[in-house]
Amino acid sequence: SQQGEEDPQALSIQEGENATMNCSYKTSINNLQWYRQNSGRGLVHLILIRSNEREKHSGRLRVTLDTSKKSSSLLITASRAADTASYFCASDMVDYKLSFGAGTTVTVRA
Amino acid sequence: ETGVTQSPTHLIKTRGQQVTLRCSSQSGHNTVSWYQQALGQGPQFIFQYYREEENGRGNFPPRFSGLQFPNYSSELNVNALELDDSALYLCASSGVAYNEQFFGPGTRLTVL
């Protein structure tokens, strides 16, 4: 079973627009991470936010974490065609074992 | 710094056969985790190896087994293949101090 769920399942936006996706998880976590996957290949680590952090930025990415609601959001600003991919949140249970959601597929139209 | 590599890239097997997938961890990493990703789904944790010992297992039957070698590379073995084993198999390595996992490109297994 999967710990997290992403919402929406799919997102289509115009280049230059912002993309926001949400993630909910079920149990307490140490950290929450976001990954990107292009065309069914390996996952690329985007950002890690610790359970005692509320917001984190990395370049065009902004992640928030609300442990009281067991939810996180990923915002990609000024999207580009290269941002077209599937995005997964992964909750870190213990000892680096990650539990992934089913992902959000983002399509950026030129 | 060498990234995580996996072999083979693609593999086709028939039901009932056995398969071995290989993973070389990133330099300096002593922990390797394996994940199964079915089409359209997120990765599911299979098991993790730390310093050659299994360090946790997900909800997978015993026919999924693994090894980690002294150089921290790892193998995933699947016996008595079933059609539902068709998936992308991902390995990820991590160091001691961080939770960030570095993923390899995956092995696409098709069971006919």
d(CA A36, CA B111): 26
d(CA A84, CA B37): 19
**pLDDT of amino acid A14:** 97
* Percent of residues, chain A, with pLDDT higher than 90: 71
**pLDDT of amino acid A76:** 97
Asked whether residue A4 carries a pLDDT value surpassing 80, the answer given is no
Query: Residue A27 — very low, low, confident or very high, per pLDDT cuts 50/70/90?
Result: confident
User: B15 versus A99: which is more confidently predicted?
Assistant: B15
* Percent of residues, chain A, with pLDDT higher than 70: 94
d(CA A60, CA A74): 10
**Which residues of A fall within a CB distance of 8 Å from B94?**
96
User: A93 versus B80: which is more confidently predicted?
Assistant: B80
B/e letters for A2-36, b = 16+ CB within 10 Å, e = fewer, are bbbbbeeeebebeeeeebebbbbbeeebebbbbbb
Q: Which of B100, B107, B108, B109 to mutate to test the interface with A (most CBs of A within 10 A)?
A: B100
Residues 72-111 of B with CB under 8 A from A: 88, 90, 92, 94, 99-106, 108
Which of the 8 DSSP states describes residue B26? P
Phi-psi bin for B69: left (phi > 0), alpha (psi -120 to 50), beta? beta
**Residues A55-83: tens digit of each pLDDT:** 999 999 999 999 999 999 999 999 999 99
* Mean pLDDT (whole number) for B14-39: 94
Asked whether residue B90 carries a pLDDT value surpassing 70, the answer given is yes
- Which candidate, B73, B72, B76, B71, places its Cα nearest to that of B57? B76
